[in-house]
């Protein structure tokens, strides 16, 4: 299998299946493209060979393509049963899917105002966003409540016991919370630390820090690194 991704510093959707596959030891090769958003960019021209959606990530399994992070995760769950992609317990699995779908379709304010930027440290920007954007505060509160409830039901250390797709879906949120230093209560600080030290997440972050790339379209708050 091959996973087509964008820049690791910026591409939150690419991060989700990559981290999951790395963490669980699923075999794949990485094919990274430099993000660019113009219709005639090299990024768009190459992606058209893999997906009509024109976005990353894309999973290639021989000559079969799956795009969209959540669709990729479900494909992996079918291809590698028993590898821990979703919890084994039926109710925990349903809850894990519920909050993953909520992540997939929601939290628009957090996405808009706090784009993922692993290399950056923007606490002053985060402080301003927190003061000026009540929708961001609402998003963070909902995320925190979802995490606390999941950790309470499962007993941890990750959202549903062992690291699974739900943790991978929220890993970019953990990166955003760190970059912008958004306030969180002590109830989830330990979880944030565990995600940051999970091998799959550590590997992605290390690669992101080594990229040395600067893409202006993904940098609303800086003119340079």
Locate tokens 């939290």: which residue? 107
Nearest to 9 by CA among 126, 164, 121: 121
State pLDDT tens for residues 109-136: 999 999 999 999 999 999 999 999 999 9
Residue 8 CA, chain-centre distance (Å), reads 10
Query: For 15-40, what is each residue's pLDDT tens digit?
Result: 999 999 999 999 999 999 999 989 89
- Compare 206 and 224 and report the one with higher pLDDT: 206
Question: Mean pLDDT, to the nearest integer, of 170-194?
Answer: 94
Inform me whether the pLDDT recorded for 225 exceeds 90. Answer: no
pLDDT at 85: 98
Whether 147 has a pLDDT exceeding 90, the answer reads: yes
**CA atoms of 56 and 166, how far apart (whole Å):** 19
Query: Span 90-101, mean pLDDT?
Result: 97
pLDDT for the residue numbered 202: 98
pLDDT at 140 over 90: yes
Spell out the domain ranges in the chain: 2-83, 90-207
Task: Give me the pLDDT at residue 185, please.
Answer: 85
- Strand stretches in 48-132, DSSP E: 58-61, 64-67
Per-residue pLDDT at 37: 87
- In SS3 terms, 153-215 reads as HHCCCECCECCCHHHHHHHHHHHHHHHHCCCCCHHHHHHHHHHHHCHHHHHHHHHHHHHCCCC
- Which superfamily does CATH assign the domain made up of 2-83 to? Glutaredoxin (3.40.30.10)
**Run of H or E residues at 131:** helix 123-132
| 61 pLDDT more than 90 | yes
Q: Would you say residue 13 has pLDDT above 90? A: yes
CA dist., res. 77 & res. 178, Å (int): 29
Q: Pick from 136, 206, 146, 147: which is nearest to 176 by CA?
A: 136
The values of phi and psi at residue 145, to 5°, are -65, -40
| CATH code 1.20.1050 for 90-207 | yes
Instruction: Work out the average pLDDT over 87-100.
Output: 97
Question: Is residue 96 very low, low, confident or very high in pLDDT (cuts 50, 70, 90)?
Answer: very high
Measured at the CA of 177, the angle between CA 173 and CA 179, to 5 degrees, comes to: 110
CA distance linking residue 110 with residue 89, whole number of Å:
31
pLDDT, mean of residues 171-194: 94
Residue closest to 3 by CA, chosen among 46, 60, 54: 60
d(CA 69, CA 203): 19
């Amino acid at each position: 299998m091959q996973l087509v991704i964008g820049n690791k510093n910026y591409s939150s959707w690419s991060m989700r299946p990559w981290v999951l596959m790395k963490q669980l030891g699923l075999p794949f090769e990485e094919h990274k493209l430099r993000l660019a958003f113009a219709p005639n960019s090299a990024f768009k021209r190459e992606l058209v060979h893999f997906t009509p959606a024109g976005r990353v990530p894309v999973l290639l399994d021989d000559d079969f393509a799956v795009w969209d992070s959540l669709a990729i995760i479900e494909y992996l769950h079918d291809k590698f049963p028993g590898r821990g992609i979703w919890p084994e317990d039926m109710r925990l699995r349903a809850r894990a899917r519920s909050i993953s779908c909520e992540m997939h379709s929601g939290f628009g304010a957090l996405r808009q105002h706090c784009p993922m930027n692993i290399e950056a440290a923007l606490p002053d920007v985060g402080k301003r966003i927190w003061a000026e954007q009540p929708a961001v505060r609402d998003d963070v509160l909902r995320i925190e409540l979802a995490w606390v409830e999941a950790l309470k039901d499962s007993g941890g250390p990750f959202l549903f016991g062992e690291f699974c797709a739900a943790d991978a879906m929220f890993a970019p949120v953990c990166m955003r919370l760190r970059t912008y230093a958004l306030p969180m209560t002590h109830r989830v600080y330990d979880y944030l630390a565990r995600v940051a030290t999970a091998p799959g997440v550590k590997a992605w972050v290390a690669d992101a820090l080594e990229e040395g790339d600067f893409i202006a379209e993904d940098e609303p708050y800086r003119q340079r690194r």
